Amino acid sequence: MATQQALVIPSLKAPFTLKSLWPIPKPGPRQVLIKIKATGLNPVDWKQQKYGIVIEKYPAIPGLDIAGDVEELGECVEGFAKGEKVFAMGYFPDEMSAYQQFCVIPFDLVGKMPPNIDYARAASIPTGYCTVAVGLLAALPAGAGLDPTMEFKSNSIGQPAFILGGSSCVGQFGSFPTRHHTLPISSTSIQLLRLQGFSPIITYASGKHTAYLHSLGATHIIDRASVSLSALPDAVHCISGSTPIKLAFDTISDDETKAASLAVLADNGLALTLVPPGEDRTHEGGKRNIGILGSPHYHREIGKRIWQVLPKQVEQGIVVPNRVEVLPDGLAGIVGGLEIMERGEASGVKLVVCPHETP
């Protein structure tokens, strides 16, 4: 059996271990085998190892963001050829995870890489974009139901929206972020809210990212260093005026930020959160919060639509990838990168590694 290198969690809460003779999966029907050229790091990855969340059996391979080349086609695969550059979001069965040199993904959940981006920038997109697209666009109760067909007809022109954690990769467009690593989340939120016509788009983020967030479509940035969470609702309402805010996206999703997001909302408004996924609660005033489970593998129909639409949006410059920092040593560099994220030292960039550069 052909083998590869893979970064493995051997048992519950055990340290990451680099394996050199891990089997390369074979693509089944309707799957493609991808040679992974770049993978992005997400906070959920270190939380899987530290707390044992999500993982059902061990040993386990984490990792969600994938960019690479089609290596082999399974039966009944349409529209792809060996050698094509692709990107995708992984899933939790080991054969579909990203912290290895090869993985398999269903072909209808794979996108062709646009020619205007490289592997590293392509690997910065999938988790953040898919999380936000499901959360904002999918029909209730999976998401806010803004645009389940992803036609982007600007149905929300003139409506204000609020993003807490505006410099995260989901907020820019990830998942289970910490307060200091939210850039890959919020950037996508800003961009997709802009495409839906929301304005103003108000974000609560680090002031050092103001110019960047404006470039993505945020209209107002409230500096978290200057405004506390307790003062945040008043600061937001000074911007929105008498126009009620019916939609908030909390890309941090701890107890304090959830309370602040609900306080910003008008009665009967909707707050989207990331933790816990699947939560659906109604609060005083009819305010509702929904915990997003933003995987295209779970929400298959909108997942397939995402991978039809996303490559075109990136190629046309409608959606901008995250800023990236490529770490050295391939899979061997992941643990150090996750430690950087856990310490909150990765503000403003998506950390990426290249698995085939592993020593």
Residue 339 within any structural domain of the chain? yes
Chain segment 61-76, per-residue pLDDT in tens: 999 999 999 999 999 9
Residue 85 has pLDDT above 80, yes or no: yes
Residue 179 has pLDDT above 50, yes or no: no
> What is the per-residue pLDDT for 19?
98
**Are 83 and 137 members of one domain?**
no
Residue 253 within any structural domain of the chain? yes
pTM of the model: 0.91
- To the nearest whole percent, how much of the chain has pLDDT over 70? 94
| Token duo for residue 27 | 């693509």
- Give the DSSP H or E segment for 150: none
Mean pLDDT to the nearest integer, 243-260: 93
**Are 111 and 140 members of one domain?**
no
**Are 120 and 161 members of one domain?**
no
Mean pLDDT to the nearest integer, 191-210: 93
**Are 281 and 134 members of one domain?**
yes
**Are 145 and 191 members of one domain?**
yes
| Token duo for residue 323 | 């800023």
**Are 199 and 336 members of one domain?**
no
Q: Which of 271, 291, 311 is the last residue of a domain?
A: 291
Count of structural domains within the chain: 2
> What is the per-residue pLDDT for 247?
98
Distance CA 62, CA 265 (A): 35
Chain segment 185-200, per-residue pLDDT in tens: 678 899 999 999 999 9
Residue 133 within any structural domain of the chain? yes
Residue 167 has pLDDT above 60, yes or no: no
**Are 58 and 31 members of one domain?**
yes
Mean pLDDT to the nearest integer, 345-356: 90
Residue 210 has pLDDT above 90, yes or no: yes
Q: What is the pLDDT confidence band of residue 170, given thresholds at 50, 70 and 90? A: low
Q: What is the pLDDT confidence band of residue 175, given thresholds at 50, 70 and 90? A: very low
Contact present, 70 and 33 (Cβ < 8 Å) = yes
Residue 317 within any structural domain of the chain? no
Chain segment 228-247, per-residue pLDDT in tens: 999 999 999 999 999 999 99
Residue 175 within any structural domain of the chain? yes
Q: Which of 243, 276, 291 is the last residue of a domain?
A: 291
Residue 161 within any structural domain of the chain? yes
Mean pLDDT to the nearest integer, 306-322: 96
Chain segment 104-116, per-residue pLDDT in tens: 999 999 999 999 9
Residue 50 has pLDDT above 60, yes or no: yes
| Token duo for residue 75 | 């039966």
Distance CA 37, CA 68 (A): 4
Using DSSP, state whether 177 is helix, strand or coil: coil
The mean pLDDT value of the chain amounts to: 92
**Are 9 and 76 members of one domain?**
yes
> What is the per-residue pLDDT for 53?
86
Residue 110 within any structural domain of the chain? yes
**Are 143 and 169 members of one domain?**
yes
Residue 173 has pLDDT above 70, yes or no: no
Residue 308 within any structural domain of the chain? no
**Are 134 and 111 members of one domain?**
no
Q: What are phi and psi of 110, to 5 degrees?
A: -125, 140
Mean pLDDT to the nearest integer, 318-329: 95
What residues make up the domain containing 14? 3-124+323-357
Q: Which of 291, 307, 338 is the last residue of a domain?
A: 291
Beta partners for residue 89, in sequence order? 65
**Are 138 and 64 members of one domain?**
no
Dihedral-angle region of residue 94 (phi above 0 means left; psi in -120 to 50 means alpha; beta otherwise): alpha
